[in-house]
């Protein structure tokens, strides 16, 4: 009797999907590719703008950039 009541009770409850907004693996892969492409495009644009700003003298260079653009500053042969 207990098992029958349990079956009836379970069938009365509507089946609920734990994640109603699930996506397929292909949809996720496409989203991930778009996200990575957008991130790399933003990073590339920021790097290009930084190079242009350094060339224009608008921003201050860090040590690595100074060494790449003006290596004569680090020449210690004259001392």
Q: Is 1 inside a domain boundary?
A: no
The answer to the question of residue 50 being in a domain is yes
pLDDT in tens, 9-41: 555 555 666 777 888 999 999 999 999 999 999
pLDDT at 77: 83
55: buried, middle or exposed (CB in 10 Å: 19+, 13-18, 0-12)? exposed
Say which residue the tokens 């996720």 belong to: 28
In a domain, 75, yes or no: yes
Task: Give me the number of domains the chain comprises.
Answer: 1
> What is the extent of the structural domain holding 71?
41-79
Model confidence pLDDT, tens digit, residues 38-64: 999 999 999 999 999 998 989 999 999
Q: What is the pLDDT of residue 73?
A: 85
Q: Does some domain include residue 10?
A: no
* DSSP annotation string for 1-69: -HHHHHHHHHHHSPP--S-TT---HHHHHHHHHHHHHHHHHHHHHHHHHHHHHHHHT-S---HHHHHHH
């Amino acid at each position: 009797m207990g098992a029958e009541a349990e079956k009836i009770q379970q069938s009365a409850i509507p089946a609920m999907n734990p994640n109603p907004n699930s996506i397929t693996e292909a949809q996720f892969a496409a989203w991930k590719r778009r996200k990575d492409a957008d991130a790399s495009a933003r990073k590339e644009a920021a790097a290009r703008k930084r190079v242009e700003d350094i060339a224009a003298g608008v921003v201050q260079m860090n040590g690595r950039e100074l060494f790449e653009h003006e290596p004569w500053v680090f020449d210690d042969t004259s001392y």
